[in-house]
Amino acid sequence: MTEPRHCSRCGHRLAGDNPRKLCSPCQSANLEAQTRPPTVPPDFWQLDKMRDALATWHMGRVLFAYRTHPFHGQTLSQELVGTWLGMTQAQLSRIENGRAPEELTKLIRYSQILGIPAELLWFDLPGEPRTRSAADDRPSVLLPVLLAGREVMLPVDAEAASAHGLDAVLGDVAASRTRKIEATSVGRQAVRVLPFAGLDELQHMAAALEDARRYLDGSVVGFFARQFEQCKTDDGQLGPLRVLPLVLGVLGAIQQHARDVQPGVRRQLLAVGADGAEFAGWLYRDLHDPGSASYWYDRAMEWAQEAQDVPMQAYVLVKKSQMAYDSRELARMLNLAEAAGRVCPTAPPALRAEQVQQEALALATHGGALSVIERKLDIARQTLDAEVEAPASRLSSVTLQLRDAAVYTEAGVPDQAAGIFADILARDALSRRDTALFSARRAAALALSGHPDEAASVALDALQIARATNSGRTSAILADVAQSLTPWRSRPGPREFREAMLA
């Protein structure tokens, strides 16, 4: 007599004429799972990893967070999710690993198929405009201005705007210009923007976004520049996810309206846009998203060239060289560093110092003589000491010393590097994000110097901050530290750090 067979999924007894491993109900459920996403509970979207992905305005990151969500029990394959979304596995892989998709119709379709709540998106679904949650008391608002069917975001301070009669102004503008402006919340990760100056500024900004040729002037360009400066300040304490939505919103406004403004204003606007685009490139580097970083560095270079801002062109080349170092494209790193020197031979001292120091780092990665490398580091220090005005780059003497330490690590002198890192970190003068970044580099130097216990302790502290600030760049360095500590994995400190990395 044949032994009864049971469904491998639910355990129910299989019918005698069923040759499969699943019962009929489970076969139906399995077929449905292959054709459409599962229904997920509301708290599915509240997972930190998911909210962080949504805050990047990058659908590829959202899809990855969706596939790897613990709700599913196991990571969903790219092939399966691609089938739901109407694409191949290779296409989904490119979206996850490339720069952020921008085609609105596709973004809408993907979000509707997966059932992403409208209020969490960075764009509006048809018939489902984003609304402000009653539980939210965030201080910033965006004014979405609908122009030719495209939404442009104007960021203002919510509390100050309300105190100045925001609702009345919005009504006046809508009535006088026959278009709709609505106040809506910035994404979950938004930060406070610069104070709102009053009704006149709001009316002027609204007019500029409607008729850039007539009203977008130097004061509007200055407003955009101040947003970027505030975001740069906030980034160091809060991390890239908190400031990226606002940066992208302002860049979107610049990108759209640059073609309409007067020629003289256009140059000013593109100069500010180049600075903001370079900053966006840095934010994406910190998120370990080189595809998006490259895109914004290219925009920064293009806008700086049109604005005839030669120092910014050189600065972007230095940043591209640094990104090439991150990805260990060492020949490209050296070429870009040298190109920056040729593009702007009369660069301001701070920029020149950073460029020469990057050359020293490139030489160190190529096994250059320590005496030659140190000579370049001396030139960089002397050049920065000659700075008498506000620096053209954001290089400070402390940052220069920290990067000197990175050079010494590459040059095979990790003990000296670890000492420099320790001295500066002890001053407690760095932002949270930079504290984590350079602590990770110190841990790497300690591991290379043969101090595994101290390296593990420093790395563990850096890991906590890196996760709090969502610094993918720091996390990548810490992954290398964990690999370097493999020979000491049985020791308590390294073992605790490796377990924390896997948590």
Q: Looking at the 3D structure of the chain, how many domains does it have?
A: 3
81 neighbors 66 (Cβ within 8 angstroms)? yes
Under a CB-based contact definition with an 8 Å cutoff, are residues 466 and 438 in contact? no
Strands of 208-335, DSSP E:
none
Are residues 420 and 499 located together in one domain of the fold? yes
Query: Hey, what are 205's tokens?
Result: 């900004």
- pLDDT confidence band for 137 (50 / 70 / 90): very low
Are residues 406 and 447 located together in one domain of the fold?
yes
Separation CA 109–CA 99 (nearest Å): 18
Contact yes or no for 195/157 (Cβ under 8 A): yes
Within 10 angstroms of residue 36's Cβ, the number of other Cβ atoms is 10
Q: Is the dihedral of CA 149, 152, 158, 161 positive or negative?
A: negative
Tokens 């019962």 sit on residue: 23
- Whether 188 shows a pLDDT value over 50: the answer reads no
Question: Given this model, what pLDDT does residue 100 score?
Answer: 79
Domain stops at, among 162, 193, 223:
223
* Model confidence, pTM: 0.67
- pLDDT tens sequence across 96-133: 888 778 788 888 889 999 999 988 887 778 766 555 44
**Domain of residue 422, CATH code:** 1.25.40.10
Residues 67 and 167 in one domain: no
Least confident of 14-23, 80-89, 144-153: 144-153
Six token digits for residue 99: 């720069």
pLDDT value at position 135?
33
Pick the closest to residue 264 from 217, 316, 305 (CA basis): 217
Residue 184 has pLDDT above 70, yes or no: no
- For 330-364, the pLDDT digits (tens) are 999 999 999 999 999 999 998 999 999 999 999 99
Q: What CA–CA distance (Å, rounded) separates 404 from 361?
A: 8
Chain centre to alpha carbon of residue 71: 26
Q: Of 120, 149, 182, which marks where a domain is finished?
A: 120
CATH number at 113 reads 1.10.260.40
Domain shared by 65 and 163, yes or no = no
Residue 321's CB is within 10 A of a number of other CB atoms, namely 25
**pLDDT value at position 243?**
82
Of the three residues 223, 242, 267, the one that is the final residue of a domain is 223
| Range in 17-21, 111-115, 306-310, 466-470 with the lowest mean pLDDT | 17-21
Average pLDDT over residues 120-148: 53
Identify the residue with better confidence: 195 or 327.
Answer: 327
> Scanning the structure block, which residue is given the tokens 């699943």?
22
**285 CA to centre of own chain:** 6
Contact 446, 485 (CB under 8 A): no
Same-domain check for residues 484 and 438: yes
Residue of 73 and 387 predicted with greater confidence: 73
What pLDDT score was predicted for residue 9? 59
Residues 107 and 207 reside in one and the same domain? no
Confidence (pLDDT) at 442: 95
**Residue 181 confidence class, pLDDT cut points 50, 70, 90:** very low
Residue 375 has pLDDT above 80, yes or no: yes
Distance, CA of 481 to CA of 447 (rounded, Å): 7
pLDDT of residue 274: 96
Structure tokens at 344: 């702007």
pLDDT band at 167 (very low <50, low <70, confident <90, very high): very low
Same domain (yes/no): 493, 403: yes
Cα 472 to Cα 478: distance, rounded to the nearest angstrom: 10
Q: Is the residue at 443 inside a domain? A: yes
Q: What SS3 state is found at 156?
A: strand
- Give the residues across from 299 on adjacent strands: none
Give the integer Cα–Cα distance in Å for 273 and 250. 9
pLDDT averaged over every residue in the chain: 79
Q: Tokens for 456?
A: 């593990």
Q: Spell out the alpha helix ranges (H) of 138-217.
A: 158-163, 166-177, 199-210, 212-215
CA angle, residues 464, 468, 474, in degrees to nearest 5: 65
Confidence (pLDDT) at 497: 94
Note the pLDDT tens digit of each residue in 436-494: 999 999 999 999 999 999 999 999 999 999 888 888 889 889 999 999 999 999 999 99
Burial of 220 (0-12, 13-18, 19+ CB in 10 A): buried
Residues 88 and 177 in one domain: no
Residue 197 lies in a domain: yes
Quick: pLDDT tens for 477-489: 999 999 999 999 9
Taking alpha carbons only, the member of 230, 172, 228, 227 closest to residue 199 is: 172
DSSP 184: E
Tell whether 385 is covered by a domain. no
Is the pLDDT reported for residue 182 higher than 80? no
**Domain contains 332:** no
How much is the pLDDT for 259? 81
On whether both 101 and 178 belong to a single domain, the answer is no
* C-alpha torsion sign, points 313, 317, 322, 323: positive
Dihedral sign, Cα of residue 273, residue 358, residue 351, residue 436: positive
Same domain for 109 and 144?
Answer: no
Instruction: Evaluate whether residue 321 is within a structural domain.
Output: no
Give the C-alpha separation, 191 to 407, whole Å: 34
150: DSSP letter: E
pLDDT exceeds 70 at position 90: yes
Q: For residue 4, what pLDDT band results from cuts at 50, 70 and 90?
A: confident
Task: Tell me the pLDDT band of 237, cut-offs 50, 70 and 90.
Answer: confident
pLDDT of residue 152: 43
How many C-beta atoms lie closer than 10 Å to residue 211's C-beta? 14
Residue 116 lies in a domain: yes
**Does 149 lie in the same domain as 99?**
no
In a domain, 251, yes or no: no
Provide the 10 A C-beta neighbour count for residue 495.
Answer: 14
Mean pLDDT of all residues in 275-291? 90
- Half-sphere exposure at residue 15, Cβ-oriented, CA atoms within 13 angstroms: 6
Full residue range of the structural domain in which residue 112 is found: 42-120
60/107 Cα distance (integer angstroms)? 10
Percentage of the chain exceeding pLDDT 90: 40
What is the biggest distance separating any 2 CA atoms in the chain, rounded to whole angstroms? 95
Output the six-digit token pair for 219: 């004061």
* Helices and strands (H, E) in the chain, number of each type: 24, 3
Tokens of 208: 């500029």
Dist. CA 182–CA 197, nearest whole Å: 19
**Residue 52 near residue 101, CB atoms below 8 Å:** no
Q: 140 with 157: CB under 8 angstroms?
A: yes
Number of residues written out for the chain: 503
Domain annotation covers residue 250? no
